[in-house]
């Protein structure tokens, strides 16, 4: 996910302070990793440097001085370009779970045991996400983010089942190489 574009998208609704942008990011993308304040302010500085955002002013509102940022016309155009760009499917599939299965085979470990433990961890996370979706008052952004994560976990689980069924053949191929 492009933090710079997400911040530009949040600025599209009007000028905002870095603190508010971080809070709105975390609210709008509930299943994403929360942004660190340092990441927000560093990204805002780069947006200003690149002419995609500018400082609107500062205020203190009874507290510490806060800088207000707004998207520029170039920033609005860049956001529209990025938002309309089709995200290409990954050209290479790097799968840490698969790598650990192969390493377990290579090192004389227990690839079946690893797959079983990983499956249990995935199932637990799916239960957590399902409860989050079913929670009273869950907003649509939370439900959709959880749905996305559940579907990816489900794909991983199906892959683990297939891999476990083929583990004898994979072990023979890895050992022969």
| pLDDT per position as a tens digit, 106-122 | 888 899 999 999 999 99
Model pTM score: 0.69
Q: 51, 70 in Cβ contact below 8 A? A: no
Mean pLDDT confidence for 143-164: 93
Percent pLDDT > 90 in the chain is: 64
Query: Which residues have CB under 8 Å from 160's CB, separation 6+?
Result: 97, 115, 118, 119, 122
Query: Can you give the pLDDT at residue 110?
Result: 92
Q: 12, 64 in Cβ contact below 8 A? A: no
Alpha-carbon gap, residue 78 to 9, rounded angstroms:
10
Percent pLDDT > 70 in the chain is: 97
Alpha-carbon gap, residue 140 to 146, rounded angstroms:
10
Give CA angle at 12 (8, 17), nearest 5°. 70
Give the pLDDT confidence of 45-90 residue by residue, as tens digits: 999 999 999 999 888 777 778 899 999 999 999 999 998 887 777 6
Query: Can you give the pLDDT at residue 175?
Result: 84
What's the pLDDT band for 169 if we cut at 50, 70, 90?
very high
């Amino acid at each position: 996910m492009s933090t710079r574009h997400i911040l530009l998208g949040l600025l599209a609704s009007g000028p905002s302070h870095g603190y508010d942008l971080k809070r709105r990011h975390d609210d709008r993308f509930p299943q994403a990793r929360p942004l660190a304040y340092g990441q927000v302010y560093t990204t805002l500085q780069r947006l200003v440097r690149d002419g995609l955002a500018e400082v609107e002013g500062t205020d203190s509102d009874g507290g510490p001085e806060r800088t207000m940022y707004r998207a520029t016309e170039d920033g609005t155009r860049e956001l529209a370009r990025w938002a309309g760009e089709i995200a290409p499917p990954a050209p290479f599939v790097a799968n840490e779970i698969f790598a650990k299965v192969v390493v377990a085979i290579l090192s004389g470990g227990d690839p079946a045991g690893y797959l079983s433990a990983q499956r249990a961890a995935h199932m637990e996370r799916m239960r957590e996400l399902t409860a989050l979706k079913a929670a009273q008052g869950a907003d649509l952004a939370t439900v959709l983010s959880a749905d996305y994560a559940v579907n990816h976990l489900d794909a991983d689980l199906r892959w683990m089942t297939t891999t476990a069924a083929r583990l004898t053949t994979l072990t023979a191929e890895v050992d022969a190489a």
